[in-house]
Amino acid sequence: MTFGHENVDRPTFYTVREAARIMRCNPSTLYRAIRENAFPAVRVRARYVVPAAAVDRLAAAASESGGCVDVARLAADQRAAAEVARMTGSAR
């Protein structure tokens, strides 16, 4: 995985199983987080894919903070910001 450099061999999206393997967690755990809207994913009909950029951002956030990154809190903050933007009519 290369940070800051475009890698043509690197996918734009990962399957949930690929993302779970990269993050060293059980795919069931990741599927549950996605369904609970606590982890970023794109739903294409009945299938979920995880943006590679989201995995990179989470890894960078953990490295920069030196601590635990709460993905559910990040997702909740993003949802709240989107709701505020929607209510105020401002663009994000």
Residue 27 is part of which domain span? 13-88
Q: Which two tokens stand for residue 75?
A: 């997702």
Q: Which is it for strands 13-15 and 47-51: parallel, antiparallel or unpaired?
A: antiparallel
CATH number at residue 57: 1.10.1660
What pTM value is reported for the model? 0.70
CA distance 19 to 55: 7
In this prediction, residue 74 carries a pLDDT of 76
Q: Mind listing the pLDDT tens digit for each residue in 31-55?
A: 999 998 888 999 999 999 999 999 9
Structural domain contains residue 3: no
Structural domain contains residue 34: yes
Structural domain contains residue 7: no
Structural domain contains residue 4: no
Structural domain contains residue 51: yes
CA distance 3 to 55: 11
| Phi, psi torsion values for 59, nearest 5 degrees | -65, -40
Q: Which is it for strands 42-44 and 47-51: parallel, antiparallel or unpaired?
A: antiparallel
Q: Mind listing the pLDDT tens digit for each residue in 10-33?
A: 899 999 999 999 999 999 999 999
In this prediction, residue 37 carries a pLDDT of 83
CA distance 3 to 10: 11
Q: Which residue spans within 16-66 are E strands per DSSP?
A: 42-44, 47-51
Structural domain contains residue 37: yes
